[in-house]
């Protein structure tokens, strides 16, 4: 638990806000509004304010159903409320003075669940060990964020929320001790895929210096416009009403039915119905690939865990053979990571590729999807009793995690995860240059 020891005032361009100084001496502003949005509308920048705003409480997260990976990570502790008015971000910084690297976290959850203001994503340990400013972003999820339906939504709203948040960070982060010219976007799972997608949008590409992609699923392709429109009519039929005014509960129920329909479609199996779609200016529809031509190639740190697929096998309706789990891990996570690292290498950028193989000695689930998360972000209370840690004590998590956090921060600062303690090879195009962790 983080105990409060006093308040602190920051004066960014957007207007003065109060945060809290914790017992760890870090400064936290967990409830900063960066934008507003009507349902199924583009987000707009939050108004500047002259009066001081209280940002000491976490902003609400987007409406969502329980995560299918709850058996892996455990139930959320001290979860913020849910609201459609969810365009908030959280900032953790060692000090308001200075010009530190900025690390903007985009959470995962299959574009359907999660929130940047959750305690499991608290940036305190990373900020302290790496002397960086950590920003965690909420964005719209599910149908509210990614529905594509004629006359209702053109899609990609959750992605445009992320872009707006990046612009807010660029314009305001200096007041929190951050360097707006050195922004690293990092994310896990859908958040990692979002980080890569942001590079395909000129509006956000120009703001990003580096990217860390943890367990990004199938990075090479996005659904086309026609594929994205396919789920819209089914969702509208399931909702049965005016989508712009329906109660949130009806939206979530229709979303769940659409997800089941999507899972039952053999041509769409393994995808989610609501996610970023390949629409101008997100890529080249002729190749269904993200494009990386307009700006210098950013540095990339990308990787996966040793047993990604097991996390999803746990929630399967029937037992999944070991060979199928391994095949899914390689096809959905390993091969795409190698491909995107090679794409960066071919474009003249620097890429580093890793495999996270740590697993608890007793209990636990192995090195599954998201196994690295307790070592990077979150509080002790947030991860207490998490199945992914098994019987591992927190002191072990802290000791092993510090090395990982320092590598992530070193990459954000210098473009290389190598530190005085750990040397990382640069990706050269073969397995021998994959850094093995744990």
SS3 state of residue 315: coil
Dihedral angle sign, alpha carbons of residues 77, 80, 129, 411 = positive
Alpha-carbon span 90 to 108, nearest angstrom: 16
Distance between CA 24 and CA 418 in Å, rounded?
Answer: 26
- Catalytic residue, candidates 107, 170, 369, 410: 369
CA–CA dist 328, 347 (Å, integer): 28
Measured CA to CA, the distance from residue 43 to residue 58 in angstroms comes to 20
Catalytic residue among 67, 107, 170, 308: 308
Nearest to 134 by CA among 118, 122, 117, 143: 122
User: 219 and 337 in contact (C-beta within 8 Å)?
Assistant: yes
What are the residues whose beta carbons fall under 8 Å from the beta carbon of 42, sequence distance 6 or more?
157, 160
Please give the Cα distance from 208 to 185 (Å, whole number): 7
DSSP per residue, 263-298: HH-TTTTTS-SSS--B-TTSSBTTTTB----SSPPP
Q: Cα dist. 217→126, 208, 272 in Å?
A: 24, 21, 11
Q: What's the distance, CA 23 to chain centroid?
A: 27
Q: What is the DSSP pairing of strand 88-93 with strand 100-106?
A: unpaired
Cα–Cα dist 182/413, whole Å: 8
The answer to whether residue 407 is catalytic is no
Q: How many residues does the chain have?
A: 438
386 in catalytic set:
no
Which tokens hold the place of 225? 């416009």
Residue 180: both structure tokens together: 């707006």
Residue with tokens 């929630």: 315
410 an active-site residue? no
Other beta carbons within 10 angstroms of residue 430's beta carbon come to 8
CA quadruple 404, 407, 413, 415: dihedral positive or negative? negative
* Cβ pair 369, 325 in contact under 8 A: no
- Looking at residue 220, what DSSP letter applies? T
Q: Which of 189, 215, 329, 407 is catalytic?
A: 189
CB 200 within 8 A of CB 46: no
Whether residue 184 contacts residue 412, with contact meaning beta carbons closer than 8 Å, is answered with yes
Which positions are annotated as active-site residues?
189, 308, 369
């Amino acid at each position: 638990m983080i105990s409060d020891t006093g308040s602190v005032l920051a004066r960014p361009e957007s207007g003065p806000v109060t945060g809290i100084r914790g017992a760890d001496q870090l400064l936290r502003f967990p409830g900063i509004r960066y934008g507003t949005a009507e349902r199924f509308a583009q987000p707009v920048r939050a108004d500047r304010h002259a009066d001081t705003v209280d940002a000491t409480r976490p902003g609400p997260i987007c409406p969502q159903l329980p995560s299918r990976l709850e058996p892996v990570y455990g139930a959320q502790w001290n979860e913020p409320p849910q609201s459609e008015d969810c365009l908030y971000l959280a900032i953790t910084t060692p000090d308001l003075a200075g010009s530190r690297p900025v690390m903007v976290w985009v959470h995962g959850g299959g574009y359907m669940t999660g929130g940047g203001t959750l305690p499991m994503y608290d940036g305190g340990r990373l900020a302290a060990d790496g002397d960086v400013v950590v920003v965690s972003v909420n964005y719209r999820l599910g149908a509210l964020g990614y529905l594509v339906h004629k006359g209702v939504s053109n899609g990609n709203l959750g992605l445009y929320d992320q872009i707006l948040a990046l612009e807010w960070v660029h314009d305001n982060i200096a007041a929190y001790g951050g360097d707006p010219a050195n922004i690293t976007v990092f994310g896990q799972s859908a958040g990692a895929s979002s980080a890569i997608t942001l590079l395909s949008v000129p509006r956000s590409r120009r703001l990003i210096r580096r990217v860390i992609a943890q367990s990004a699923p199938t990075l090479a392709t996005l659904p086309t416009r026609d594929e994205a429109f396919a789920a819209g009519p089914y969702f509208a039929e399931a909702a049965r009403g005016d989508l712009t005014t329906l109660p949130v509960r009806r939206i979530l129920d229709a979303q769940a039915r659409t997800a089941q329909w999507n899972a039952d479609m053999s041509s769409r199996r393994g995808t989610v119905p609501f996610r970023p779609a390949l629409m101008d200016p997100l890529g080249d529809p002729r190749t269904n690939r993200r494009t990386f031509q307009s700006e210098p190639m950013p540095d990339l740190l990308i990787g996966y865990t040793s047993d990604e697929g097991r996390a999803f096998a746990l929630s399967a309706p029937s037992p999944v053979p070991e060979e199928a789990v391994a095949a899914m891990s390689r096809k959905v996570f390993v091969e795409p990571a190698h491909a995107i690292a090679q794409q960066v290498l071919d474009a003249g950028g620097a890429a580093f590729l890793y495999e996270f193989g740590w697993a608890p000695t007793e209990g636990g689930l192995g090195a599954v999807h998201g196994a690295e998360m307790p070592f990077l972000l979150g509080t002790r209370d947030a991860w207490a009793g998490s199945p992914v840690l098994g019987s591992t004590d927190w002191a072990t998590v802290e000791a092993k995690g510090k090395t990982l956090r320092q590598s992530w921060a070193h990459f954000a600062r210098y473009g290389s995860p190598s530190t005085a303690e750990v040397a990382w090879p640069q990706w050269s195009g073969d397995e021998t240059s994959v850094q093995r962790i744990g």
